[in-house]
A and B are shown apart, each in its own frame.
Chain A
Amino acid sequence: MKNNTSKEYENILEINHLQTSFFTKNAEIKAVDGLSFTIPKKKTLGVVGESGSGKSITSLSIMRLIDNPGKIVGGEIYFKGEDLLQKSESEMRKIRGNEISMIFQEPMTSLNPTLTVGQQISESYITHQELSKKEAKQKSLEMLKLVGIPSPKKRLKQYPHELSGGMRQRIMIAMALACDPDLLIADEPTTALDVTIQAQILDLINELQDRLGMGVLLITHDLGIVAETCDYVAVMYGGQVMEFADVKSLFTHPKHPYTVGLMKSIPPHDRDVEGDLDVIKGSVPSPVEMPNGCRFAPRCPFATDLCHQKLPNIETDSYGNQIRCWIYSDEWDGDPEVNVHAKTTEGTT
């Protein structure tokens, strides 16, 4: 049963300086390194980033599902005003799947192949609401109807392999929303799906969010999805948030050179780009050899000595938008008139 006596809170989730590392015999790999962001109640935050940016590790850290050899080494994760990192494992278990739920990228492999759909959804009710099997089954059926699955009675008895990818993702959503969570974490929920099915699933998540009033953390690499479904965006790179802003500001006035570069490298489907695409030179740094200064400095066309030597602080503007870049600080030692939107392609390969 849910604990409704918790403190007053403004943000459903507030993460401060989260650090999650993986330990090998002779090194500490900092997968998430000083990450902060907030999600206001009932809002959607999109977290974008390329592979290795630490976005999935962030979501598993919130759930406290980081396995050996990984470990959360520092920071705070306030959920409904309480720090999840101070909770015991059994307290966390009462939160997982009940107050915070998660859906994953691969609907093909994220459902247990040897249990029926009904068994897998019922499990949430049996665990968190202590319902009988029969009651749980009835509730599961209602859930299947809610997520728009045709002939739900029949589906309850089916195994995951009998369903299409889109159906399976609907099942995952039904399972995640079973106990009416306050926060839904969706880790690349549509990446494995075709665009027409993706449209269905995003639509469903949006509709259910309105209906159930939950906060959503949507992890994706697709800026288009963020633009269309989120209220806020955090752009991640090298285990840190480079830029945090409301969607409109970010897409109309991106400030961080990485955000700008990312937007320019995606060929849009709704307008033509003449000539070559603008590219970000080089490749994503391996977390084993992260740069000392700004994580993006080695690939940044504007980087100065300062950028290479010192990690920039997070600057917050009057709207609450945040940026981690020297260009926007008083210490900036480069061209004061620098234009991050200028064409930056240096050679095409």
Chain B
Amino acid sequence: MFKFIVRRIIQTIPVIIGVTIIVFSMMHLVPGDPAQIMAGESAPAQQVENIRERLGLNEPLPKQYLSYLGNALLGDLGNSMRSGRAVTDEISARFWVTIELAIYSTILAVFIGLIAGVISATKKYSPQDTIIMLIALFGLSMPNFWLGLMLIQWFSIGIDLPNWFPFINDTSWFKPSGWGSFQQIVLPVITLGTGSAAIIARMTRSSMLEVIGQDYIRTARAKGIKERIVIYRHALKNALIPVVTVVGLQFGGLLGGAVLTETVFAINGMGKLVIDSIAARDFPVVQGTILVIALLFVLVNLFVDITYRLLNKRIDLD
């Protein structure tokens, strides 16, 4: 197991190098002179030249990359064009907001997805199964920015809601924007988690159905143990193995989905930072944020692989 983890970590190194190359070349893939674009079309030549000088854009490309990589390793991702603050500071101020959003959404998605998937599988072809799978299909096909807007419309500002919750003093149940309080968190988490919940539900259902057809489930039933134990102890544990992979991939997807959700709910996270920086042509910030998100993605995948390995006893042989 230890060997596996070490090997898996070593394997991520080329991936990380690849990510940095892609992020680095983004600036050079933009048509035209990056310095001119950053400065704006009508900027005086001297200002463009200053930018070029400051960012080292007149050096040869490999050298630029190496110094970028070296700085990145030391935790220096450059300074924001807009605020002049270090990119790392800009990101760290918003990092946890996005992580919180993604984690809460994942928890919601796993919770709902697993329960729905298990019910669907154990009651195959029943009305419950049909309804759950229809809802899942709907959840899967809704774009999350649209769902976000609808939720705001229905549960926040659009209609007068009856005052069911004594602890909420506002006229609306939830707040349409911001992050931090319970009232602010609920809607974005639902917005971001719904699609994943649907995918996890479908995956759990098909995985459970496959496992329930296995010989060892028949063995468990022939032992006379209760159906509930057959499902949760014998079937679910095996069915989770492929689901874990999907959850991991979904978490990565949520980081990307956060860009839209944060914009819709005006949450000051990394996603919104990217959008705002693109609009302001703040390239160092865009680069830095994307690099951080990509690294997170790699880390999550590493974590998923290790979990997968722990769950799946059969591949632990070598």
Contact = CB atoms under 8 A, between A and B. Distances in A.
Given A113-B314, A114-B313, A96 B219 contact: no
Interface string A97-138: 110011010100111111100000001100110000000000
Given A159-B313, A161-B313, A112 B219 contact: yes
Given A97-B224, A110-B216, A112-B238, 15 more contacts: A63-B222, A65-B222, A96-B221, A102-B222, A104-B215, A110-B219, A113-B312, A113-B314, A114-B311, A114-B313, A124-B223, A127-B225, A128-B224, A159-B314, A172-B219
A110 B224 contact: no
Interface residues of B, number: 21
B215 A175 contact: no
Complex A-B, nearest 7 residue pairs according to Cβ-Cβ distance, in ascending order:
A96-B224, A97-B223, A97-B224, A109-B215, A112-B216, A102-B222, A110-B215
Contacts of A161: 313-314, 317
A101 B221 CA distance: 11
B236 to A, nearest CB: 10
Contacts, number: 72
Nearest to B213: A67
B89 to A, nearest CB: 46
Contact of A109 (B214, B225, B317): B214
A94 interface: yes
Contacts of B220: 112, 123
A98 B215 contact: no
B234 interface: yes
Contacts of B226: 93, 127
B206 to A, nearest CB: 18
Contacts of B223: 96-97, 101, 123-124, 127, 175
A65 B219 contact: no
A280 interface: no
Interface in A237-282: none
Interface string A151-173: 00000000101000000000010
B85 interface: no
Given A98-B224, A127-B224, A128-B224, A115 B218 contact: no
B237 interface: yes
Contact of A113 (B221, B233, B313): B313
Contacts of A93: 224-226
A95 interface: yes
A113 B312 CA distance: 8
A96 B225 CA distance: 8
B219 A101 contact: no
A334 B169 CA distance: 96
B216 A111 contact: yes
Interface of A: 63, 65, 92-98, 101-102, 104, 106, 109-115, 123-124, 127-128, 159, 161, 172, 175
Interface in B229-280: 233-234, 237-238
Nearest to B236: A114
B222 A112 contact: no
A112 B215 CA distance: 9
A33 B85 CA distance: 83
Interface string B301-318: 000000000011110010
Contacts of A113: 216, 238, 312-314
Contacts of A124: 223-224
Given A112-B220, A161-B313, A106 B225 contact: no
B309 to A, nearest CB: 13
Nearest to B314: A161
Contacts of A63: 222
A44 to B, nearest CB: 19
A227 to B, nearest CB: 27
B216 A96 contact: no
A93 B224 CA distance: 4
B221, B223, B311, B317: residue with the most chain A Cβ atoms closer than 10 Å: B223
B222 A96 contact: yes
B314 to A, nearest CB: 5
A111 B219 contact: yes
Contacts of A175: 219, 223
A114 B308 CA distance: 12
B234 A115 contact: yes
A76 to B, nearest CB: 21
Contacts of B238: 112-114
A106 B218 CA distance: 12
A127 B312 CA distance: 26
A106 B222 contact: no
Contacts of A94: 224
Contacts of A92: 224
Contacts of A97: 222-225
A109 B217 CA distance: 10
A128 B215 CA distance: 22
Contacts of B311: 114
A123 B219 contact: no
B129 to A, nearest CB: 13
Contacts of A112: 216, 219-220, 234, 238
B305 to A, nearest CB: 18
B219, B237, B313, B317: residue with the most chain A Cβ atoms closer than 10 Å: B219
Contact of B225 (A95, A123, A172): A123
23 contacts: A65-B218, A65-B221, A65-B222, A95-B224, A96-B223, A97-B223, A101-B222, A101-B223, A102-B222, A104-B218, A106-B215, A109-B216, A110-B215, A110-B218, A112-B219, A113-B238, A113-B312, A114-B313, A115-B234, A123-B225, A127-B223, A161-B314, A175-B223
A175 B222 CA distance: 11
Nearest to A106: B215
Nearest to A108: B215
A95 B224 CA distance: 7
